[in-house]
Amino acid sequence: MLQPVPRLARLLSPAGHVEAVDLLRAYFAPRPAGRPGGYFERIGQIGAHPDEITPEDLVAAGTLGVVIPGDAALAILVDHRDELSWLLARLPTDVAFADLSVEQVESVLTPKRAYRLLTSVGGIGTTAATVLLARKRPHLVPILEPAVVDAITGIVGLFLLPLRELLTADDRAYQRRLDELHDAAGLAPEVSALRVLHVLARTVVEGADR
């Protein structure tokens, strides 16, 4: 079975429960105590426009350190607005990533078509595109931030299929663990299990850099 890097694996184990909950509460705490990324889901009404990328989504991306250049913002909000909305409308709003079959995972990023359109815009890379898609489908689309995803699966350069394997192995042990941590930390419903995993992995990666 795949394993996250050791410190992340510990945070996701019963032995790391208290530390993981404390990290999540600290991250999502109200300003000025919490982290900027703790407002990623809070800026604007995240579910109000599920099929449209809005200026609020671009601001929310900035809380994760993702800067959308001006020309790219106009391309998303004006030039490609209708096409992106058409593609987003074809993505389910009630399906979680862990519920996808192997075949469905391969196409998660119609997310593929929306992803390709976003990354065709100058200044929008994989991380920025998946951050924007995660604002629209938080339970379906994982944020693909290279150092973070490597920490989650322990495999450099591969993520979607290994992530599904990780979340569904052993009767969904990791998925259930993420749900437990979410509830124990008292997080809002719009914060997905994928984001819980992303936040803990990001904490591990940033800690390793200090």
Express each pLDDT in 11-68 by its tens digit.
Answer: 999 999 999 999 999 999 999 999 999 999 999 877 778 999 999 999 999 999 999 9
Would 1 be classed as within a structural domain?
no
Spatial contact of 97 and 139, defined as CB atoms under 8 Å apart: yes
Per-residue pLDDT averaged across 122-146, rounded? 93
- Length of the chain, please? 210
HSE-CB for 37 with a 13 A CA cutoff: 18
Would 144 be classed as within a structural domain?
yes
- Residue-number span of the structural domain to which 47 is assigned: 6-209
Spatial contact of 205 and 148, defined as CB atoms under 8 Å apart: yes
Residue 29: CB atoms within 10 Å: 12
Q: Which pLDDT score, from 0 to 100, does residue 45 have?
A: 74
Query: If you ran DSSP here, which 8-state letter would residue 77 be given?
Result: I
Q: Which pLDDT score, from 0 to 100, does residue 176 have?
A: 96
Would 13 be classed as within a structural domain?
yes
The runs of H, that is alpha helices, within the chain are 6-11, 17-27, 55-62, 70-74, 81-88, 102-106, 112-119, 126-136, 146-153, 160-184, 193-209
Would 198 be classed as within a structural domain?
yes
pLDDT digits (tens, 9 = 90+) for 156-173: 556 788 888 889 999 999
Would 33 be classed as within a structural domain?
yes
Query: Tokens 């394993």 belong to which residue?
Result: 3
Number of domains in the chain: 1
| Nearest of 51, 129, 54 to residue 90 by alpha carbon | 51
| Nearest of 44, 43, 46, 17 to residue 31 by alpha carbon | 43
pLDDT band at 182 (very low <50, low <70, confident <90, very high): very high
Is the confidence at residue 96, as pLDDT, over 70? Answer: yes
Is pTM beyond 0.85? Reply is yes
Cis amide linkage into residue 32, ω under 30° from 0:
yes
